[in-house]
Structure 1
Amino acid sequence: MSKVLTVDPSLCTGCHRCEMWCSLTKYGEINPSRSNIYVLRREPAVDVPVICVQCGLCINACPTGALKRDGATDAVVVDADVCSGCGTCVKICPYGVLRLDEDTGVAAKCDLCGGSPACASHCPQGAIKYEDINKAAARRRELWAMACAVRIRG
């Protein structure tokens, strides 16, 4: 069964553990600037994890073919040996979650940690989950409905 990352911003406390675990898992250092997940603070005290939704828009945009979909996880992954660091994928990403790594010069993005995302497994509040696509779709519908209700009432 296919799985995806989901985010429930109402559960995020802004601890940034997801960023720390991501950078530690991917780069061997606790350095949020090298994380492939981002926690943005919006006042008043609302923290929102921003993740790659693995949409794949970057795949066709890449002039060198360095971005491909992993058959096992369905994640879009970067082949660092093929990436030229041109930044086309960064420009095309509608969510702003691709970046050029300052140390390596190649594109960096969430690859779902090979099917066991560190961000989800270390989120103490359960704000980030790696779950079945049908459960994730139901969660997204509920979050969308709640957001719309707040706007209508607000």
Structure 2
Amino acid sequence: MKKLVVKDRSLCQSCLTCEIACSEAFYKNYSDGTSCIKIGNKKDDSLDVKVCNQCGICAKKCPEGAIKENAKGVYIINKKLCTGCMTCVDVCPKGIIAKVEEKPVPSKCIACGICVDACPMGIIEIKEA
């Protein structure tokens, strides 16, 4: 299985470079809520870096069967089958499936590595399990 892993959250500088790179890859620009990786704060005000662990909850809950696991263990949204119902966005436990009003289909992490390459602190990596 291929997935993103945060090696050391304490090294994150909240520069948002990973968020910006992800958003620009999917949507060609950056705005809040368009990235499939999120940098924010927990309830105790400590830093949180949320990445997709390819748990598959979105696929299990998709009423159209539009999200399928590929051979590398990455869940991919089939844009032809997706109706834009937003169930995947609502059920994602990390809140990191992005949906932009102008686009009919949400975006989820496909473990492409763009955020890994963009992070100046090198705290994100792709793991093959």
Q: Same fold (TM over 0.5)?
A: yes
Gaps of 5+ in 2: none
**Alignment-mate amino acid for residue 102 of structure 1:** E
Q: Which residue of 2 aligns with 1:143?
A: none
Q: Provide the C-alpha distance between the structure 1 equivalents of 2:88 and 2:27, rounded to a whole number of angstroms.
A: 20
> In the alignment, is the contact (CA less than 8 A) between 1:18 and 1:122 conserved in 2?
yes
User: Percent same amino acid at aligned positions?
Assistant: 34
Per-residue CA distance 1:85-128 (angstroms, 9 max, x = gap): 11111222222222332221322211112xxx100111111121
CA distance 1:31–1:99, change in 2 (3 Å): closer
- C-alpha displacement at 1:59, in angstroms? 0.9
**Alignment-mate amino acid for residue 16 of structure 2:** H
Larger Rg: 1
Q: Provide the C-alpha distance between the structure 2 equivalents of 1:66 and 1:38, rounded to a whole number of angstroms.
A: 24
SS of the residue corresponding to residue 121 of structure 1 reads helix
SS of the residue corresponding to residue 110 of structure 1 reads coil
- C-alpha displacement at 1:33, in angstroms? 2.9
CA RMSD of aligned residues (A): 2.0
SS of the residue corresponding to residue 18 of structure 2 reads helix
**Alignment-mate amino acid for residue 26 of structure 2:** K
> In the alignment, is the contact (CA less than 8 A) between 1:14 and 1:41 conserved in 2?
no
SS of the residue corresponding to residue 124 of structure 1 reads coil
Q: Which residue of 2 aligns with 1:38?
A: 38
> In the alignment, is the contact (CA less than 8 A) between 1:39 and 1:49 conserved in 2?
yes
Q: Provide the C-alpha distance between the structure 2 equivalents of 1:20 and 1:99, rounded to a whole number of angstroms.
A: 13
Q: Taking CA–CA contacts closer than 8 Å with sequence separation of 6 or more, which of the two structures ends up with the larger relative contact order?
A: 2
Aligned length: 128
> In the alignment, is the contact (CA less than 8 A) between 1:13 and 1:47 conserved in 2?
no
Gaps of 5+ in 1: 134-154
CA distance 1:32–1:19, change in 2 (3 Å): farther
CA distance 1:19–1:57, change in 2 (3 Å): same
* TM-score, structure 1 normalization: 0.73
